[in-house]
Structure 1
Amino acid sequence: MSELIAIFTSTELVLGIITFLTSVVAAIVGVGGGMILITILPSFLPLNALIPVHGLTQVSSNLSRAFFGYKDIQYKVIPKFLIGSILGIALFAGVLSFISLSYVPLFIGVYILLSLWSEKFNEKIKRYENYYLAGFFQTGLSMVVGATGPLTMTLLLKDYQDKDKVVATGAILMSLTHFLKVVVFIYFGFVFFDYILIIVAMIFGAVFGSFVGTKSRNLIDGKKFTLILKVLLSILAIKLIIDILLKNIYLLF
């Protein structure tokens, strides 16, 4: 009994709550939850576990969100996206061998700021406006930066005006992205069982958050919520960048 109490008063509980909140965000606006989570996790997990644990948690978050909105999923885009994803994961998996894990938070922070505020960056992304290339880059890049949802959401927003269709379809596509990523990390030898309590707590929070967010989607002003989300993400991304730069400056001296 005392061991159970210890579990639910430690890191697992905190991460479960954080994952719940980020999953609610993602279920309401379609993106942002995974990005918030990936900027927070470096404070709780070692760098080698950051993207694998995040990926497995996001499988549950996105898959549950897709399940709760299954009637709105546009299934015709899935085969194209999946083909691109398989090619992307095969290519980008090799990049991990040449990247120092200590710089992963820096990549994440820069990517988030560019995707939120740089029109030129987003214009370049928009050039890849088909589901083959969206799958290729979204799944491939997720091996390095973790959360790449905006790549596909931009395309879905153009093709579908219905918010529920965009959120549900985006969720199933992100499920594929994170699932393939998890498979690759298992192949590389990452032992998810070493973080089993954290993963269980985060999965529980993710699924419950998807349920609450789906039910709340039409109760919140999307424009105001999106603006608040962008500001919050920017603050977290800047913190990631500053922390990694200060750490490297400290090592120099």
Structure 2
Amino acid sequence: MFDITVLLPEGLSLSLAFAFVGFSFFTSAITASLGLGGGIMMLAGLAMVFTPTVVIPFHGFVQLGSNGFRALMLKAYIHWQLILWIGLGMVLGSLLGGSLAVALPESVFLAAIGIFILYSVWGPQPKVAVRGPFASFFGGTAIAALGMIIGATGPLVANFLKSLTDRRDVVATHSMIMTINNLAKVTAFTLFGFAFGQYLPLMLAMIASGFLGTWLGSHLLHRMPERTFRVGFKAVLTLVALNLLRSAIWP
């Protein structure tokens, strides 16, 4: 009988692998329903198990599948004119940020991810109007460089979409921008020597479950009152972020 555990990263149990596959379904459902949030929760969950040097590229690969599928489903609503200069900036930013990320100590990675999660949950969301090719290119570069260190930058990308009023346009265009960002991130980490091979079966399984979560997410989350969901969402992410900061200070 084939031993499925040989497909898993070293030291990861089968039960935990199944938990991550289910978690990918859940976080994709959140993003499909609310537009944002699932990527940050995925980042927090991965950070509880894997080292920071694995979390960011792993997260980028899984989110590439999730965002790519969402963009494909909503391709008719993508505003391509908003994407060109942002995408070019993200290619440059991923290379610049990757050269820094591979040199950072693990404790700095943990602290950066923890602080980012806390800010995303409790801090004021940035309200920066991004207009024009230069501003889009510079913004894309900065966001992609930052994403190589903290992982989930979806809330920052949302600033490029202030001019869109239809929710379908926002979700579709946001998904396409994040697809470009994640593709650039995965490419940069590959160039800098990250070995995706041992994680590939688990990542592909998580992407597949993410497809289902994206497809069915809105139906599953309608049963929970939004206020109850958001309180629980903030509480869980806060506890995870505080634990990451504790690990950074007291390994």
TM-score of Structure 1 vs Structure 2, range by shorter chain: 0.7 to 0.9
Percent of matched pairs sharing the same residue:
28
Tell me which amino acid in the other structure corresponds to 2:3.
E
**Contact (CA 8 Å) 2:77, 2:168: kept in 1 or not?**
yes
CA contact (8 A) 1:23 1:206 kept: yes
* Amino acid in structure 1 at the alignment position of 2:196: F
Deviation, 1:196, is 2.2
Q: Residues 128-167 of structure 1: matches in 2 within 5 Å?
A: 130-156=135-161, 158-167=162-171
Equivalent position of 2:123 in the other structure: 118
Q: Is structure 2 residue 22 aligned with structure 1 residue 17? A: yes
Counterparts of 2:64 and 2:79 in 1: how far apart (Å)?
Answer: 18
Query: 1-side partners of 2:200 and 2:103: how far apart?
Result: 28
Q: Which runs of 5+ in 1 are unaligned?
A: 248-253
Structure 2 residue ranges without an equivalent (≥5): 8-12
Q: Which residue of 2 aligns with 1:250?
A: none
Partner of 1:229: 233
**In the alignment, is the contact (CA less than 8 A) between 1:62 and 1:172 conserved in 2?**
yes
Shift of the 69–172 alpha-carbon distance from structure 1 to 2, 3 Å rule, reads same
CA distance in 2 between partners of 1:147 and 1:36 (Å) = 9
The residue matched to 2:209 in structure 1 has which SS? helix
Post-superposition offset of 1:225 = 4.6
- Deviation string, structure 1 residues 8-44 (Cα, Å, up to 9, x no partner): 9433211111111111111111211111111111233
Pair 1:183 & 2:191 matched: no
2:243 pairs, out of 225, 228, 239, with 239
TM-score, with length taken from structure 2: 0.84
- The answer to whether the 8 A contact 2:107-2:249 is kept is no
1-structure distance, mates of 2:76, 2:223: 20
* 1:88-138 residue CA offsets vs partner (Å, 9 max, x unmatched): 22322221244113321210111122233333x725xx2656532332222
How many residue pairs get aligned? The number is 243
Alignment partners' CA distance in 2, 1:220 and 1:192? 37
Q: Is 1:12–1:197's contact at 8 Å kept on the other side of the alignment?
A: no
Which is further off, 86-95 or 175-184? 86-95
The equivalent of 1:91 in structure 2 is 96
Q: Which residue of 1 aligns with 2:212?
A: 208
Cα 1:6/1:79, change in 2 over 3 Å? closer
Do 1:56 and 1:182's aligned partners in 2 also have CA atoms closer than 8 Å?
A: yes
Q: Say what the alpha-carbon RMSD is for the aligned residues.
A: 2.7
Counterpart position of 1:251: none
Residue 10 of structure 2 is matched in structure 1 by none
Identify if the C-alpha distance between structure 1 residues 135 and 219 changes in structure 2 by more than 3 Å, giving closer, same or farther: farther
1:108/1:165 CA distance change after superposition, 3 Å: same
Partner residue, 1:71: 76
Secondary structure in 2 matching 1:159: coil
- Cα distance, 1:163–1:236 mapped onto 2, change above 3 Å: farther
| 2:174 corresponds to 1:170 | yes
Separation in 1, partners of 2:159, 2:129? 11
Aligned with 1:193 (options 189, 192, 197): 197
SS in structure 2 at match of 1:107: helix
Measure, in 2, the Cα distance between the counterparts of 1:128 and 1:110.
25
Residues 1:61 and 2:66 are matched in the alignment: yes
Cross-structure match for 2:48 = 43
